[in-house]
Amino acid sequence: MLHKGIKFAYAVLLTVSAALAFIVVHHFDETTVAGTSYVVSFQRTDDGAPGPRVADMLDDLTRAHGVNVGRLYQHPRDERIRRVHLVVGDPEAQSSRWLAQGYPDFSRGAPVEMRPYREIVNIHPDGLYYVYGPEPAAVALAREFARLGYHGQVEPAFSPAGVVAYYGNGTLLWAFLVVGFVVILVVACAVTLNAKSYGIQRLHGQSYARILFRDLRQLAGFAAVAAVGTCSVTVTLLYLYNDLNQIGTYASVALSFAGVYVLAALLAHVVTLALVHDDEIVNAVKGEVTAAWASAGTYVLRIAAVALIFSVTTATIAAGFAVQEQRNRSRVWAAMGDAYHLRISSVIDDGQRGAAIDDRIGRWIRDADTRDEVVLAWLNRPGSRLAGTTGPDVLVVNDAYLLDHEIRTAADTPVRPAGDDHLRILSPQRYASDAARITAQVTTWATAQAARSGRGDLPGVRLEQLRDHQSVPVFVGSAGEGGPVLDDPVIVVVSGASGVIPDDEYTSAASRGEILVKDADRTMASLAAAGLDTYVPGVSAFAQEAADRYRDLRNQFGLQVFSLVAAVVVYLVTAAASSIVYCRRRAQTLYVKYLCGWSFLRTHGGILVFEGLLAVGMAVWSQHGTATAIARSTAPGAPPAPPGLLPLQGVEPLLAAGIAMPALALTVLVLVRINATFVRTHSASLS
């Protein structure tokens, strides 16, 4: 009869193959889009052609090559949603049908919306492009973009080399390898511990080939039943999860994992059976074929699994903190609605001509300010001329900013535009003692700015008090390391009509991303009418960078979570495997101890002590690693510690206990189950 250890190994490899395939396809669907053949990433440039010219080029190229091309554009106000704006050159293609029928998402956590490319014609065209067609079309796309000033590299959307490069240093690779070694070891142990059965068959004149064929025939029947059961459960779960979207891709990945594991298991079976067959028949019949190497191997893999799950757990916690931090930032920027940065070109190299163009762009921004079409938030940190060396942060805003963001006065009423050219200093009550200094500092700064802008007289300056403990958003780049809000800054309100801010200063603020426009299409049409579309070739969604950053972190966190699931499976599988090998190898001894009345703890004290030492080792190792990383981060010039490390400091023993308890419970369960089997079948059946 086929040894139970072999059945266990094949059940494990089928289950793990299904789980790993789900992890890979799920993560693949969240990082790219199905159906694409090639991906081209075009880098940000200030010298490229404007969006409408790129759109025309894409129309011509897709029709000429009969392919579809999509641009990935993350939804700026919902970081979960990815948008693919499609240029259709093949109306019969599957991706064309997705425009009307919807994209078949495998992952529910990152839905994809298929939309026409013309919706983003005025958005700056750098970014990620998907080619739904052959390589010549992708190469032609890169060549045409290069002619328009954008450069990118053509890469296959999915390739074995790319998968190995991506997962090669990650947890999934280690989980895959550890499970593979577990399968090999369990199969080899099962064949070795089944030596008595093989010895009896040899006494009956069975050759090595006939014994192997008998095993494989029995294995084929069990494997078929196990495969049908695994497929049925998997298909049911996938139907409930995503209506079996991309089931073909999932099946091919799962079969690939299972194929590798099955080949490894069969090789271990064939080689180990050959070694057992070469031993003396008498030793085999007595059950004296040694399996000491099996016990040593299971303990080595057990230690590796412990190190794997502990490192993955801490990495998952750290990734979770990073995702939460970026999510909070993204919510602030997404709450601003549809707002866009101006993309100022650096195409003009001549200094004199460049200064003249800067002034023209600045005048356009000033005029747009008077029409409430732009929002200004110019941040001045301590050390700047406006904030002073020791003063608080100062935020220079316009009237449109006050309309978009609620700021409360000391009387708890909302601040509204005054409708005049006065400079308004909005200072929190906590700075009341510094009111004279702040007013003098702002007046000095405004006088210098007005002199540069050519305004002879300075408009009136008045100070108003704000309620303390207010936070206001800043436009410092939504993916930057700085926070998305300022706490209790001094706010200086300057209208465009006041003429205080020079034209070139408006352009500088726009280049830093501190000026936003609300309507991309109207802005680009106005710039074109002013002859400035060559120098401001497009706009970018303000919250786009934050959404992209959050998407990347969320994908990393999702991969870590699934890696943690894989590590837990490996951890529990190695616990069960070490317990089974321990009991099978010591079957006679354990049964004798049972007959002599030994207690459970006394009988199995060795393996239970080993599990306890693993838990202690986990706690000590993690505590040392956390303390070392935090100490390293406090060195001068060192980067800060990852956000997940600080909360972990001091709780490593609890974490180790939480990880060790499920494995210890499984170990005890296996030992109790096998002890019950000892009582029923006696030592002759257990050997």
Distance CA 135, CA 151 (A): 17
pLDDT band of residue 546 (cuts 50, 70, 90) is low
State residue 1's pLDDT score.
63
Question: Strand, coil or helix: what is 207?
Answer: coil
State residue 309's pLDDT score.
75
- With 60 as the cut, is the pLDDT of residue 290 above it? no
Give me the chain's average pLDDT, please: 79
State residue 210's pLDDT score.
92
List pLDDT tens digits, range 571-592: 777 777 777 767 766 767 777 7
Give percent of the chain with pLDDT exceeding 70. Answer: 78
State residue 123's pLDDT score.
78
Q: How many helices (H) and strands (E) does the chain have?
A: 22, 16
**How many residues are there in the chain?**
687
Q: Are 74 and 547 in contact (CB under 8 A)?
A: yes
Q: Are 74 and 120 in contact (CB under 8 A)?
A: no
- With 60 as the cut, is the pLDDT of residue 481 above it? no
Distance CA 88, CA 188 (A): 56
Q: Are 482 and 476 in contact (CB under 8 A)?
A: yes
List pLDDT tens digits, range 263-272: 999 998 998 8
Q: CB-based contacts of 217: which residues, under 8 Å, 6+ apart?
A: none
State residue 478's pLDDT score.
40
- With 50 as the cut, is the pLDDT of residue 288 above it? no
Q: CB-based contacts of 334: which residues, under 8 Å, 6+ apart?
A: 76, 77, 78, 79, 543, 546, 547
Strands (E), 119-222: 127-132, 152-156
Rounded to the nearest 10 degrees, what angle do helices 544-585 and 652-686 cross at? 30
For the segment 308-319, the average pLDDT, to the nearest whole number, is 74
- With 70 as the cut, is the pLDDT of residue 169 above it? no
Q: Which long-range contacts (CB under 8 A, 24 or more apart) does 663-666 make?
A: 663/571, 663/572, 663/575, 663/611, 664/608, 664/611, 664/612, 664/615, 666/572, 666/575, 666/576, 666/579
Distance CA 436, CA 14 (A): 76
pLDDT band of residue 331 (cuts 50, 70, 90) is low
